């Protein structure tokens, strides 16, 4: 169902649901029950009520109509995920440092083989789209070919993807190590080739402080200084053992975050995954530098790392993204991720409602990545990435939604019960890129 040549525009009519940041910290839901979105060359050109916009729908428009039970929401965004770890998702019985050695590093070694990388990158992109994820910030492996493979697969679908080659020059198997010189040269070449090509963006990607020498962290800082429009992604304070190790390795630094800060690796567009074991001064430094946290609830539970404190991030005024962190995380579905986020918040007596959930998957995550001028809501000028959610995807969901009194109640049930079965259509850059073919369930059981 791509736009045929005779059409120059796409018109989508249906039940649109999006969020905006509300007063204080609480986002609100905005619904357009009978809405219209016009799209041209991958961008939204108009959005509003059908009655107001219908005269713009002429013979040059391909008109797609969705039923009221199908909710059209902005494409989901994953702020931290490792594509080479899809093969080891759900690997039993280890905490972070052992899990890296036993499962992760052997899997990542296979990405030396470009064919393997290409196959897995295509598989990963298909899985993202199947789950309604249209943008992600992605770790590749130490091999530049792993980045090329991912950018090729993402580029084929015209997706906006941020990714980078892992920098690691110690404390890993020799096959997975680079050097400050090769890490610099390879990253630089990838940035020059891919950053800003189509919708692709680059992130300088030191794995985490323990696997980088001070010299390698220095070249990461140099890359950020030379290419200030790039992103930075890494891990921070995920487990107590890791924090203690960083203290041993960098005794001259004030703490874990200071290792990154000292090398110029904090600031806007710097995304730190986890942040479970921060000192007070580190929370303040994240805020002062405008850095962002990626909260990975399924990973933190699966690896037994602990519970992230989202309220503290809000109180400290730190940008927060939600992330799957597959393969530490247990699902690429951002609906599953939001469900776990709700439970982690609830365990700590913190609020997390449907509006918060949808906001975190869309506009909130766009903002966390510094992409909210392009993504996350239905505004003219933004890129046309959107997902159609089927409230009748399963019999249970159909029954639950049919007795819900409000859109909020329906959405919360979708977040808690949902997974890839809910994703009926995924649209990227104005083109349909995934279609779930199973028939919807009847409205009532
Ligand atoms: N810390 C360093 N590398 C990794 C990784 O691959 N996954 C997670 N969850 N934490 C890390
Ligand atoms: Zn990670």
- The answer, yes or no, to whether residue 445 has pLDDT greater than 90, is no
* Per-residue pLDDT, 2: 53
- % of the chain beyond a pLDDT of 90: 95
Return the CATH number of 3-74+377-435, one of 2.30.40.10, 3.40.50.880, 3.40.640.10, 3.40.50.2000.
2.30.40.10
- For the Cβ of 16 lying below 6 angstroms from any atom of ligand 1, the answer is no
Over range 165-192, report the average pLDDT.
Answer: 98
- For the Cβ of 429 lying below 6 angstroms from any atom of ligand 1, the answer is no
Residue nearest to atom 7 of ligand 1 (CA): 328
Task: For ligand 1, pick from 97, 139, 208 the residue to mutate: most ligand atoms within 8 Å of CB.
Answer: 208
* Per-residue pLDDT, 210: 98
- For the Cβ of 238 lying below 6 angstroms from any atom of ligand 1, the answer is yes
* Per-residue pLDDT, 24: 67
- For the Cβ of 235 lying below 6 angstroms from any atom of ligand 1, the answer is yes
Arithmetic mean of pLDDT over the chain: 96
- b/e 282-313 (16+ beta carbons within 10 angstroms → b): bbebbeebebbbbbbbbbbbbbebbebbbebb
- The answer, yes or no, to whether residue 440 has pLDDT greater than 90, is no
* Per-residue pLDDT, 438: 74
- Going by pLDDT thresholds of 50, 70 and 90, the confidence category of residue 4 is low
CB 160 within 8 A of CB 199: yes
* Per-residue pLDDT, 218: 98
* Per-residue pLDDT, 6: 81
CA-85 nearest atom, ligand 1: 6
* Per-residue pLDDT, 25: 66
> Residue 129 Cα, ligand 2 centroid: separation in angstroms?
20
Q: Among 12-26, 186-200, 266-280, 384-398, which is the least confidently predicted range?
A: 12-26
- The answer, yes or no, to whether residue 33 has pLDDT greater than 80, is yes
Task: Kindly report whether the peptide bond that precedes residue 127 is cis, defined as omega within 30 degrees of 0.
Answer: no
- For the Cβ of 242 lying below 6 angstroms from any atom of ligand 1, the answer is no
- For the Cβ of 367 lying below 6 angstroms from any atom of ligand 1, the answer is no
- For the Cβ of 299 lying below 6 angstroms from any atom of ligand 1, the answer is yes
Domain map (residue ranges) of the chain: 3-74+377-435, 76-368
pLDDT, tens only, 58-67: 999 999 999 9
- For the Cβ of 82 lying below 6 angstroms from any atom of ligand 1, the answer is yes
Radius of gyration, alpha carbons of the chain? 21
Counting ligands in written order, the one closest to the CA of 301 is 1
Q: Which fold has domain 76-368?
A: TIM Barrel (3.20.20)
Residue nearest to atom 9 of ligand 1 (CA): 328
> Residue 194 Cα, ligand 2 centroid: separation in angstroms?
22
- For the Cβ of 19 lying below 6 angstroms from any atom of ligand 1, the answer is no
- For the Cβ of 269 lying below 6 angstroms from any atom of ligand 1, the answer is no
* Per-residue pLDDT, 22: 75
> Residue 52 Cα, ligand 2 centroid: separation in angstroms?
45
pLDDT, tens only, 335-390: 999 999 999 999 999 999 999 999 999 999 999 999 999 999 999 999 999 999 99
The candidate with the shortest Cα–Cα distance to 400, out of 417, 387, 386, is: 417
């Amino acid at each position: 169902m791509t736009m045929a040549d005779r059409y120059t525009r796409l018109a989508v009519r249906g039940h649109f649901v999006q969020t905006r940041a509300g007063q204080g910290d609480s986002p609100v839901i905005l619904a357009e029950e009978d809405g219209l979105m016009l799209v041209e060359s991958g961008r939204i050109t108009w959005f509003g009520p059908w009655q107001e916009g219908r005269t713009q729908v002429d013979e040059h428009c391909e008109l797609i109509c969705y039923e009221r039970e199908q909710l059209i929401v902005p494409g989901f965004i994953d702020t931290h995920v490792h594509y080479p770890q899809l093969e080891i998702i759900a690997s039993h019985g280890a905490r972070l440092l052992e899990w890296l050695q036993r499962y992760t590093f052997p899997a990542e070694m296979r990405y030396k083989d470009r064919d393997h990388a290409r196959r897995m990158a295509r598989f990963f992109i298909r899985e993202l789209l199947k789950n309604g994820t249209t943008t992600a910030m992605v770790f590749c492996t130490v091999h530049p070919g792993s980045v090329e493979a991912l950018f090729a697969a993402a580029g084929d679908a015209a997706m906006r993807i941020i990714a980078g080659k892992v920098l690691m020059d110690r404390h890993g198997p020799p096959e997975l190590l680079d050097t400050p010189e090769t890490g610099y040269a390879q990253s630089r070449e990838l940035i020059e080739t891919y950053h800003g090509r189509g919708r692709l963006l680059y992130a300088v990607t030191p794995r985490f402080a323990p696997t980088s020498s001070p010299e390698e962290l220095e070249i990461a800082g140099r890359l950020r200084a030379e290419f200030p429009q790039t992103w930075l992604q890494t891990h921070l304070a995920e487990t107590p053992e890791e924090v203690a190790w960083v203290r041993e390795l960098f005794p001259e630094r004030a703490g874990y975050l200071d290792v990154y800060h000292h090398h110029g690796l904090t600031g806007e567009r710097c995304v730190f995954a986890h942040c479970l074991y921060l000192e007070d001064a580190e929370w303040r430094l994240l805020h002062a530098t405008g850095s962002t946290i990626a909260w990975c609830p399924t990973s933190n539970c699966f690896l037994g790392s602990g519970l992230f404190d989202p309220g503290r991030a809000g109180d400290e005024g730190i940008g927060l993204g939600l992330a799957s962190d597959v393969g530490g995380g247990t699902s690429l579905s951002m609906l599953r991720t939001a469900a776990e986020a709700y439970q982690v918040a609830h365990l700590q007596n913190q609020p997390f409602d449907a509006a918060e959930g949808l906001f975190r998957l869309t506009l909130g995550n766009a903002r966390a990545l510094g992409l909210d001028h392009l993504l996350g809501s239905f505004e003219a000028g933004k890129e046309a990435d959107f997902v159609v959610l089927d409230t009748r995807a399963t019999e249970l969901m159909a029954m639950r939604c049919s007795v819900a009194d409000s859109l909020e109640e329906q959405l919360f049930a979708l977040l808690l019960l949902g997974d890839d079965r809910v994703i009926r259509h995924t649209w990227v850059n104005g083109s349909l890129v995934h279609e779930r073919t199973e028939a919807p369930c009847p409205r009532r059981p």
